[in-house]
Amino acid sequence: MSQKIAGPKGMNDILPGEVEVWQHVERTARELFSRFGYGEVRTPTVEDTALFVRSVGEETDIVGKEMYTFEDKGGRSLSLRPEGTAPAARAYIEHSVVNQEPLTRWFYMGPMFRYERMKTGRYRQFHQIGAEAYGSKEPAQDVEIMDLVVQLLQTLGLKDVSLNINSLGDETCRPAYQEKLVGHLRAHVDELCADCKVRLERNPLRVLDCKVERCQQIALAAPSILESLCEPCREHFASVQRKMGALGIKFEINHRIMRGLDYYTRTTFEFIAAHPVLGTASTVGGGGRYDKLVKSLGGPDVPAVGVGLGLDRLCLLLRESGQRFGQPAQLFIAVADEGSADEALALASRLRREGLRVELDTRGGSLKSQMKRADKVGATYTLVLGELERTSGQAQLKPMAGGEPVPVKLAELAQTLHAAKPAA
């Protein structure tokens, strides 16, 4: 007997019964994002490794430890994308989009890849929904991006998700803060994990993003970056807060939010869920402003702000919400005798062309087994088709939830089903 082949660890199959939740989130996001004027962009799953080294940061864990990087047959170093912002920025530059529209709003959906320690809500192939806005340096654009997520969560019916915001300053004021931070960290250098001792020398801000508990405790006592903001950054952050208030969006200021990527400047934020199903992977989305990323990748000097949402985590929360997803069959056709099989297949085909969801067990079998199948698929109605029904052109439409069968003409079946009250 041949050995079974399993899927790669941390890269999950999404099967019917579960995929309907995903489809619901994706449909909801597409509809909502279009209301905000965001168009969908689709970038390759694989990019030049240099894109992520230059954007995400060579000293980040993502580039240093987590990327799936390989050499192709042409000797080029390629990587499976670990996040969506850098590929979108690359596409924005490559296609000279700034010359076509000064304000550009994009969204994307798709798989990302990081070789991480797996736990609930954190996988090696994970899925993101993201939005990026290029061309506006105004605080209003930061707020619009956050409002986009707030409205998506509300539309999905997800509650108990808090919004934390911070400002990371910019190249003017961040160096002064970094000096204060380094002084604090050096006083506790012996307590830092091995990775953070390296980060202290190469990129001290990354220490604040460490997940090791003792490093988190040191980070808690670190000076706040908000005390070191220059006046333009302070005004920008104050304007963000004021506009959030005007929209009625609740938020908390959290000076410890740094995010795990090097390209962020000024506004940064995270959406954090309180539900225990996520365990320690409680951040369902996050992002911020990255005004220098496009230029650093060889593009024009265009400001930008964006957000990424964990689709896997959103779906975990939705499955716990008790909501129902997917659309059951409106009709199950049960075949009473072998001579009616072709007629049943033709009837199902005709009804499907009429836009109806119709199930038919092509294996046939006893009526009892077919009715069990109708119940399993959650059909709203069943119709038994046999010689009597074929010759008379009449049948009985049986509600699976209970109630009296409804006489129906086979020629008028589509109109009857379209007019029928949907299942509760």
Q: How far is CA 224 from the centre of its chain?
A: 31
Please give the share of the chain, as a percent, with pLDDT higher than 90: 67
**358: containing domain:** 331-419
- Same-domain status, 125 and 235: yes
The CATH number of residue 153's host domain is 3.30.930.10
In a domain, 247, yes or no: yes
The last residue of a domain, from among 289, 319, 349: 319
Question: Which of 319, 342, 357 is the C-terminal boundary of a domain?
Answer: 319
| pLDDT higher than threshold 50 for residue 423 | no
Total count of domains within the chain: 2
pLDDT at 199: 83
Q: What is the pLDDT of residues 75-94, one digit of tens each?
A: 999 999 999 999 999 999 99
One domain, residues 250 and 356: no
Co-location of 360 and 313 in the same domain: no
Token pair 């589509």: residue = 414
What CATH number does the domain containing 371 carry? 3.40.50.800
Contact 150, 249 (CB under 8 A): yes
Q: Which alpha helices (H) appear in 283-401, and where do they start and end?
A: 293-296, 311-319, 341-353, 367-376, 387-392
The pLDDT value recorded for residue 424 is 42
User: Does 166 share its domain with 238?
Assistant: yes
Q: Yes or no: say if 114 and 124 are a contact pair by the CB < 8 Å rule.
A: yes
Establish if 102 belongs to a structural domain: yes
Residue 114 annotated as part of some ligand binding site: yes
- Per-residue CA distances from 404 to 340, 381, 400 (Å): 24, 11, 10
pLDDT on residue 69: 93
264 is in an annotated binding site: yes
Q: What is the pLDDT of residue 260?
A: 59
- Which of residues 319, 350, 370 is at a domain's end? 319
259 is in an annotated binding site: yes
* Position 184 in a domain: no
User: Is 132 known as a binding-site position?
Assistant: yes
pLDDT digits (tens, 9 = 90+) for 244-298: 999 999 999 998 887 656 678 999 999 999 887 887 678 899 999 999 999 999 9
Model pTM?
Answer: 0.88
Three-state SS string across 7-33, please?
CCCCCCCCCCCCHHHHHHHHHHHHHHH
Reduced to 3 states, what is the DSSP secondary structure of residue 147?
Answer: helix
Q: What is the mean pLDDT of residues 211-225?
A: 86
Give me the chain's average pLDDT, please: 91
Q: Is 174 annotated as a binding residue?
A: no
User: Is 343 marked as a binding-site residue?
Assistant: no
List 105's β-bridge partners, or say none: 133
Angle at 63 between CA 57 and CA 68, to 5 degrees: 150
